[in-house]
């Protein structure tokens, strides 16, 4: 009598613990793919926004004019626009107050831009830790399901008088499915995490360079006024 060794039948016939492991890995995989697509969109949008704004910033436009157009969309700003808006707003406020010298004004604008930069990086890094967690733990969760399934197979084997490979094959096969699902959940998460961390690091360097360059421009403006 042949045994149904299809994947669906093996999953349905698996022990409760192994099924629970498989379900948790399936949920983790689905959630990680959702995060992957969301972060891909967020980072892609941040790259385009940074390039578009810096092209405009270095086009020779007056900073006050650029600030007016940017601040009109203050609730919808992100990336380099948000950093510029925060820095120029602080610069304009401090310059109109008495008792602040040139370095105080520039340092104040620089601090405001650093705070805005950190906020932007928090948005970019949001949920990346979830991908790291899925990538690092899923193989071990799958391995736990495998060990549990194989252990049950050999325990059941001890209760029969004549043992054969056919009697333990279904249990071992269902256990190995858990390992496969662990790898299926982990590999895309690890690849996406490494890619997005690299993208965020490049954007961080991009923002840091812009902050330093803009602070230098503000310092020159303060000396010339």
Element (H, E) at 186: helix 165-224
Let me know if 58 is exposed, middle or buried by CB neighbors in 10 A (0-12, 13-18, 19+).
exposed
Structure tokens at 78: 């992100």
Nearest one of 207, 25, 199 to 116, comparing CA atoms: 207
Q: Which residues contact 51 (CB under 8 A, 6 or more apart)?
A: none
The pLDDT value given to residue 1: 39
The pLDDT value given to residue 21: 86
What's the rounded Cα separation, in Å, for the pair 182 and 185?
A: 5
The pLDDT value given to residue 147: 87
Residue 180 contacts residue 23 (beta carbons within 8 Å): no
Tens digits of pLDDT across the chain (225 residues): 345 556 666 666 667 787 888 899 999 999 999 999 999 999 999 999 889 988 888 888 888 888 888 888 777 778 889 999 999 999 888 887 776 677 888 899 899 999 999 999 999 999 999 999 999 999 999 998 888 888 877 776 666 555 555 556 666 777 788 888 899 999 999 999 999 999 999 999 999 999 999 988 888 877 665
The pLDDT value given to residue 2: 46
């Amino acid at each position: 009598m042949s045994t149904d060794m299809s994947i669906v039948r093996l999953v349905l016939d698996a022990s409760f613990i192994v099924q629970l492991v498989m379900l948790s890995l399936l949920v983790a995989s689905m959630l990680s793919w959702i995060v992957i697509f969301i972060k891909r969109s967020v980072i892609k949008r941040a790259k385009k926004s940074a390039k578009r704004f810096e092209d405009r910033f270095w086009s020779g436009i007056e900073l006050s004019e650029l600030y007016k157009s940017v601040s009109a969309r203050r609730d919808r700003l992100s990336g380099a626009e948000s950093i510029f808006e925060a820095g120029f707003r602080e610069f304009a406020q401090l310059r109109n107050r008495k008792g602040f010298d040139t370095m105080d004004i520039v340092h104040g604008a620089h601090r405001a831009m650093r705070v805005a930069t950190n906020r932007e990086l928090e948005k970019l890094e949001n949920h990346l830790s979830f991908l790291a967690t899925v990538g690092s733990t899923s193989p071990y969760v799958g391995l736990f399901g495998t060990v549990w399934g194989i252990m049950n197979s050999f325990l059941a084997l001890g209760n029969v008088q004549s043992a054969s490979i056919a009697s333990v094959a279904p249990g071992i096969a269902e256990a190995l499915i858990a390992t496969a699902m662990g790898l299926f959940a982990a590999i895309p998460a690890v690849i996406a995490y490494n890619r997005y961390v690299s993208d965020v690091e490049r954007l961080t360097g991009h923002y840091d360079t812009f902050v330093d360059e803009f602070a230098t421009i503000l310092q020159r403006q303060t000396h010339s006024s």
